[in-house]
Amino acid sequence: MSLPRALEIQIENLIQKLKRRQIVGSFFVARETAFILRQVVSISRWRDAHVLIDIVTQIGNRLAAAQPNELAIGNIVKRVLKVIREVSRGELDDNERNEKITLTPDDIEEDSEEEDSEEEGGFVTAASDERRPDLSTQTSMFRLLADMSTLSTKEQKRLENEKRIRDTYNLKPLIIQEITDEIIADLDTKDTASIYKGIADQALDFIHANEVIMTIGISRTVQEFLVRAAQKRKFQVIVAETAPTYQGHEMALSLSKAGIDTTVIADSAIFAAMPRVNKVVLGAHAVLANGALVSVSGSHLLAAAAKHHSTPVLVCTALYKLSPLFAYVADAFNVTVSPQNVLSFQEGSIIDDVAITNPYYDYVGPDYVSLFIHNLGSAPPTYVYRLINDNYDPEDSSLL
């Protein structure tokens, strides 16, 4: 597979940014992946949809290999592949419908009336001649194209090439338009609010007056969800500080600026504070096929405490985070980062005597989650498989 040089440079630049973690976060990774795949469809040379699918798959594998833990890469690639398959199938169906002409009962009645008028008056009007389709020419052409056995091998190849070029010419703008409307429109920086609007609009259905909500880490999806509820309801939010990154401090500051009564607690106090909590609201880095989620470190502790006290756990996530993959090992999609924030390298000789692991994510099983709130509605963990079937093609489930 040879790509134009300019496109290959863009792909390599994105791969290097992913390897160096210069692009971090599901949203930004998904957006950059969608942009580069749209460029692939637009610039690369392909004869038919099958060739394009192979090109997109190979590039998707390269991007996913650069940062395997960013599941949003594979999700966007699979969505683009589904768009290509749907557009190609729809375009082929349209071509077949255009080539075949069928007579309806109304057409038959019009023809019989015209024949009667010919017998009675001896002539027909010009308008009736215009309405009458030229069946003989189009039918014979269709038969000529259909019966390839009567043509020579050279003629068959010529007709196949012409049809392939015609299909490519018709498919490319349709695929680009669908990728722009279905995927990039929700990820474009100028319209980022559209991703969160569908989730935030449901806030009043789940957050009620005088409730106590607990969350952990910082998530723009959760932030927009709570801020929207605070416009009509008065409630309190408890934020776990999420050591050692202390993302909870930033989350608490943004919520307090929105006028929400916010309290920051240490992660070790989560279980003690849970009895007075009405709901737990979590963000997600990725949602897996079995209804589990990968979220910020400490989420499993919060969800386990909520389950022990029978407190419902709501997960706010966009549909592009849905992944058709399974985590056969709990740490399969985790990332370990520098232990500098846990134990400084300047602590002295103790560094040589201890092994420090600083995981960035937690795996939260589906039995800890009560409901997923996404931009098109809400669904329990047992319904995630249906959402995945709606967003991805079964032929692509084993890719990436």
pLDDT in tens, 125-149: 444 444 444 444 444 444 544 555 5
Q: Which of 30-39, 115-124, 264-273, 367-376 has the lowest mean pLDDT?
A: 115-124
Q: What tokens does 235 get?
A: 């409630």
Q: Which residue blocks in 290-374 are alpha helix, DSSP H?
A: 299-308
Residue 137 confidence (pLDDT): 42
Which stretches does DSSP call E strand in 335-383?
A: 361-364, 371-374, 377-379
Q: Which of 6-15, 244-253, 321-330, 391-400 has the lowest mean pLDDT?
A: 391-400
**Higher per-residue pLDDT: 244 or 188:** 244
Question: What is the share, in percent, of the chain residues with pLDDT greater than 90?
Answer: 58
Residue 332 burial by Cβ neighbours in a 10 Å radius (0-12, 13-18, 19+): middle
Residue 386 has pLDDT above 50, yes or no: yes
Residue 395 has pLDDT above 70, yes or no: yes
Residue 98 confidence (pLDDT): 54
Residue 297 has pLDDT above 80, yes or no: yes
Confidence label for 398 from pLDDT (cuts 50, 70 and 90): low
Residue 147 confidence (pLDDT): 53
Residue 123 has pLDDT above 50, yes or no: no
**Mean pLDDT, range 38-62, rounded to an integer:** 92
Residue 194 one-letter amino acid:
S
Residue 192 confidence (pLDDT): 60
Residue 94 confidence (pLDDT): 56
Q: How many whole angstroms separate alpha carbon 14 and alpha carbon 354?
A: 37
Confidence label for 347 from pLDDT (cuts 50, 70 and 90): confident
Whether the CB-CB separation of 79 and 182 falls below 8 Å is answered with: yes
Residue 97 confidence (pLDDT): 53
Phi-psi region of 86 (alpha: psi -120 to 50; beta: other; left: phi over 0): alpha
**Mean pLDDT, range 117-132, rounded to an integer:** 46
Q: What is the pLDDT of residues 157-171, one digit of tens each?
A: 766 666 666 666 678
Max mean pLDDT range (132-146, 234-248, 321-335): 234-248
**Higher per-residue pLDDT: 99 or 308:** 308
Question: CA torsion angle for 304, 308, 314, 316 (degrees, to 10)?
Answer: -10
Residue 130 confidence (pLDDT): 46
CA angle 52, 57, 61 (to 5 degrees): 150
Residue 127 confidence (pLDDT): 44
Residue 149 confidence (pLDDT): 54
